[in-house]
Copies of this chain bind each other. A is one copy, B any other.
Amino acid sequence: MQFSSALLENAVNEFARLPGIGKKTALRLVLHLLKQDAKEVNQFSEIMARMRNEIKFCQRCFNVSDGDICSICANSMRKQEIICVVESIRDVIAIESTQQYNGTYHILGGIISPLDGVGPDQLQIESLINRIRKEKTTEVIFALNATIQGDTTIYYIQKKLQSLPVRVTTIARGIAFGGELEYADEMTLARSLQNRLPVESYVNR
């Protein structure tokens, strides 16, 4: 691409560095910003810088937070003795959107994946164990992606929890709501057969 303005070119290049945004999309976004009021673009720019410079991570659950403790951990209406273990902030947002969970979270910041060079030490596993021990947690719910890495992580942490008086569960894996058996993969179908539910408990939900 040939630009007649270095300011324009720099802005396009900055946008194009974001994941999933190519040069053409970047140009479209920059030309859109160029059409906006200067006030709005300055606000955009300021909010991005503030987000990166001022955001904190909750010292208890490692969720993003505006203060030292996130709003979920600080909320006394939530069951502080239940911890849902997730990989990333994105999973917290997904679970919160269901409005079905009323406990707290613990964000591992990744998942055990030797191929990617991620071991248990790089994740918030030590802090999770300490937290469970200190807070006398009653239940730990694993909500990790249903992959080999997810299962490995669950297995690793669960072994460390064996000596503690805490109930350890994982979210159900099975045929998705609205899914058809015919198109389900064998692994999912096999697991959902193994973990079959009594019909009463299913119907009553």
A66 x B7 contact (CB < 8 A): yes
Q: Mark A36-77, 1 if CB is under 8 A from B, else 0.
A: 101001111111111111110010000111100011100000
Check: A145 CB closer than 8 A to any chain B CB: no
Stretch at the interface among A24-32, A111-119, A146-154, A181-189: A24-32
CB within 8 Å for A10 and B52 given contacts A45-B46, A93-B2: no
Residues from chain B with Cβ under 8 Å of A33 in the complex:
18, 48, 51-52
Pick from B1, B3, B7: contact of A54, CB below 8 A. B7
Check: A161 CB closer than 8 A to any chain B CB: no
Check: A204 CB closer than 8 A to any chain B CB: no
CB-CB nearest in chain B for A99: B2
B44 x A5 contact (CB < 8 A): no
CB-CB nearest in chain B for A11: B51
Check: A19 CB closer than 8 A to any chain B CB: yes
CB-CB nearest in chain B for A65: B5
Residues from chain B with Cβ under 8 Å of A92 in the complex:
4
CB within 8 Å for A4 and B47 given contacts A25-B20, A27-B93: no
A residues near B (Cβ < 8 Å) are: 1-8, 10-11, 14, 18-21, 25, 27-34, 36, 38, 41-55, 58, 63-66, 70-72, 88-90, 92-93, 96-97, 99
